[in-house]
Amino acid sequence: MESLQRSSIVLGTGVEFEKNENLFIIRTGVEYEIEFGNHWDIAPTIFYDHRSNNFGTWSVGLGIGKRF
């Protein structure tokens, strides 16, 4: 079984729509993909979202994928 590993740096912008106001967001993060046999992969991620009202949040995730 051969495994492939690669990392990605994420940087992007967006808008969060809320009832009282819409917030401009800047997202930064890192994702690390580890590919296993039979086209399966797992990808731990960590992101930081900075909102326009100086409020930020951290997100930690784990993705599981299958290529077809």
- pLDDT value for 67: 87
- pLDDT value for 37: 83
Per-residue pLDDT of the chain (68 residues; tens, 9 = 90+): 556 778 999 999 999 898 998 989 999 999 999 998 888 999 999 999 998 887 899 999 999 999 88
Helices of type H across the chain: none
30 - beta bridge partners? 9, 46
- pLDDT value for 9: 95
- The number of beta carbons lying within 10 Å of the beta carbon of residue 26 is 14
